[in-house]
Amino acid sequence: MTRRWLFADQLGPHFLDEPDQPVLLVESRRVFARRRFHRQKAHLVLSALRHRAAELGDQAVFVQDDGYGPAVRAQRERVSVCHPTTRPALRLVQELGVEVLPARGFATEQQQFARWAGGHGSLLMEAFYRDARRRLGVLMEPDGPVGGTWNYDHDNREPPPADGLHLDEPWWPEEDEIDEQVRADLDRWEREGTARFVGRDGPRRFAATRAEALAALDHFVERRLPTFGPTEDAMLRRDWTMSHSLLSATMNLGLLDPMECVRRAEAAYRSGAAPLASVEGYVRQLIGWRDYVYGTYWWFGPDYPGANALGATTPLPDWFRELDADAVEAACLRDVLAGVRDRGWVHHIPRLMVLGNYALQRGWSPQELTAWFHECFVDGYEWVMVANIIGMSQHADGGAMATKPYASGGAYINRMSDYCKPCAYDPKVRVGPTACPFTAGYWAFLDRTQPLLAANPRMSRPLLGLARLSDREALVEQERARGSAPP
């Protein structure tokens, strides 16, 4: 049996061939000197790695303080690894002569994705998702999808209830002496200048061991999955978790296999414990969206992260880069940026429709934005963020993934959240002191990118609207004057 090298995102039991397989774990501190991460992300990853090392005991060689190369070369046995999740990590293991096995931790393998993508003219997520449902036999009956319909999106776009969701607290981990040691080490490295962090320290909020992951999954399926669907796209100022699973960071550490979560959710539907719309919405996020962004990361090739079809080159302003939420007056952006600062996590709609939307409107560099999301989010890894930001959020791939840019004005945020009422701005106003920066930014974005988007049939109506604006000139001038200042 080879010694299995487990990267810090391969920590679950399914990355071993046998439960007693010898293991190599490497905690390479150089990563933190090379690149700045959210403090709570650094904590979570180190905590998970050290907990795994403690669980495995003598079964694992746990190398700290050393680079990957010396740690691998020091092993007497042959070393194998499950296909790493990113190109730089794949290059590294290949250079070190490590045996590379197929990837684990995804429901669709790269070759399966490539077969699907090669046979389709356009890479629509919905088509991929249906193919995965059929192939994996998830929520299927002999004659088609359960309930006769593939997609319950129309049931899953409700605005937030005015008086909140009234859910129990989510499952939270209890920190232990390993977390205490991690916190002390991170403090020391920062003092010594060997690590740089962004964001605030805080209690660990995400599962870092297999036992914790299973407890968090149980809790989600029993208490939150039933209400997940209808409000999965909604945002509430005083409820950052809503019905979300809070399992993405744990799954991206490899502590849960997506298919075990899917099977649990499906069983909840079949036993009558959760409605189909909620279960389908959750399943879509796992074997649809998650595998789709993983597949496209590899499918589109090494040049994809550099794509910049809309010519967006403005650097990220310091207030955004440094998570300075207090500098922001716009209620939605202020709250979402504070969420990133305080937790390293906000759910998919604040990411796409607040943070990503704001950056898209202002022509911020998609490469800088991808790096920012990777650094600031506890569940952010290169394979996750490239497709999400370059393709989905910033339309930097010119439409290879999404048929039109995800730009929208304040009306969307107003409909899907409770942010606008107490805000100093008005989502209906385009020009003037109360002009909503999202509404004004939306039209300024169309004005700037019109030559690039004119050929897109899905943009003809918005561009017609732009042509009819009576205050277009004043609006463009206003947004030019606003520049990169916090809104």
Residue number, 92 or 420, with CB nearest to ligand SF4: 420
Bridge partners, residue 23, by sequence: 4, 60
Q: Which two tokens stand for residue 273?
A: 């414990």
Interacting span for ligand SF4 (CB under 6 A) from 5-13, 47-55, 233-241, 432-440: 432-440
- Nearest-approach distance from CB 415 to ligand SF4, in angstroms: 10
Phi, psi (deg, nearest 5) at residue 445: -65, -45
HSE of 135, CA atoms in CB hemisphere, 13 A? 16
Binding of residue 413 to ligand SF4 (CB under 6 A): yes
Residue number, 106 or 442, with CB nearest to ligand SF4: 442
> Buried b vs exposed e over 441-453: b needs ≥16 C-beta within 10 Å?
bbbbbbbbbeeeb
Residue number, 63 or 337, with CB nearest to ligand SF4: 337
Contact 107, 291 (CB under 8 A): yes
Binding of residue 438 to ligand SF4 (CB under 6 A): yes
Interacting span for ligand SF4 (CB under 6 A) from 43-51, 185-193, 376-384, 419-427: 419-427
Phi, psi (deg, nearest 5) at residue 443: -70, -35
Residue number, 5 or 419, with CB nearest to ligand SF4: 419
- Please identify which residue in 423, 453, 466, 475 interacts with ligand SF4, judged by CB under 6 A: 423
Interacting span for ligand SF4 (CB under 6 A) from 125-133, 282-290, 330-338, 463-471: 330-338
Neighbours of 247 (CB within 10 A): 23
Binding of residue 358 to ligand SF4 (CB under 6 A): no
- Nearest-approach distance from CB 343 to ligand SF4, in angstroms: 20
What is the DSSP code (8-state) at residue 431? S
Bridge partners, residue 364, by sequence: 314
Q: At what angle do helices 291-299 and 110-118 cross, to 10 degrees?
A: 70
Binding of residue 445 to ligand SF4 (CB under 6 A): no
Contact 26, 68 (CB under 8 A): yes
User: Which of 54, 60, 31 is closest to 197 using CA atoms?
Assistant: 31
- Please identify which residue in 251, 310, 330, 400 interacts with ligand SF4, judged by CB under 6 A: 330
Kind of pairing between the strands at 3-6 and 23-27: parallel
Give the SS3 label for residue 64.
Answer: strand
- Nearest-approach distance from CB 5 to ligand SF4, in angstroms: 46
- Nearest-approach distance from CB 448 to ligand SF4, in angstroms: 19
Interacting span for ligand SF4 (CB under 6 A) from 62-70, 208-216, 281-289, 424-432: 424-432
* Distance, CA of 76 to CA of 65 (rounded, Å): 20
Binding of residue 337 to ligand SF4 (CB under 6 A): no
DSSP 248-259: HHHHHTTSS-HH
User: Which of 381, 291, 252, 260 is closest to 110 using CA atoms?
Assistant: 291
Interacting span for ligand SF4 (CB under 6 A) from 208-216, 305-313, 396-404, 431-439: 431-439
Residue number, 40 or 414, with CB nearest to ligand SF4: 414
Residue number, 20 or 329, with CB nearest to ligand SF4: 329
Residue number, 70 or 432, with CB nearest to ligand SF4: 432
Residue number, 350 or 366, with CB nearest to ligand SF4: 350
DSSP 260-287: HHHHHHHHHHHTTSS-HHHHHHHHIIII
- Please identify which residue in 12, 258, 427, 486 interacts with ligand SF4, judged by CB under 6 A: 427
Residue number, 348 or 415, with CB nearest to ligand SF4: 415
- Please identify which residue in 331, 336, 346, 384 interacts with ligand SF4, judged by CB under 6 A: 331
The residues, any chain, with a CB within 8 Å of residue 212's CB and separated by 6 or more, are 173, 250, 255
Burial class (CB in 10 A: 0-12, 13-18, 19+), 366: buried
Binding of residue 360 to ligand SF4 (CB under 6 A): no
Binding of residue 419 to ligand SF4 (CB under 6 A): yes
* Distance, CA of 129 to CA of 54 (rounded, Å): 38
Binding of residue 332 to ligand SF4 (CB under 6 A): yes
What is the DSSP code (8-state) at residue 315? P
- Nearest-approach distance from CB 433 to ligand SF4, in angstroms: 13
What is the DSSP code (8-state) at residue 6? E
| Residue in the block written with tokens 């004659």 | 143
Residue number, 295 or 487, with CB nearest to ligand SF4: 487
Binding of residue 410 to ligand SF4 (CB under 6 A): yes
Binding of residue 336 to ligand SF4 (CB under 6 A): no
Q: Which two tokens stand for residue 204?
A: 């660990």
Binding of residue 349 to ligand SF4 (CB under 6 A): no
- Nearest-approach distance from CB 350 to ligand SF4, in angstroms: 11
Contact 79, 3 (CB under 8 A): yes
Binding of residue 234 to ligand SF4 (CB under 6 A): no
Binding residues (CB under 6 A) for ligand SF4: these are: 330-332, 410, 413-414, 419-420, 423, 425-427, 436-438
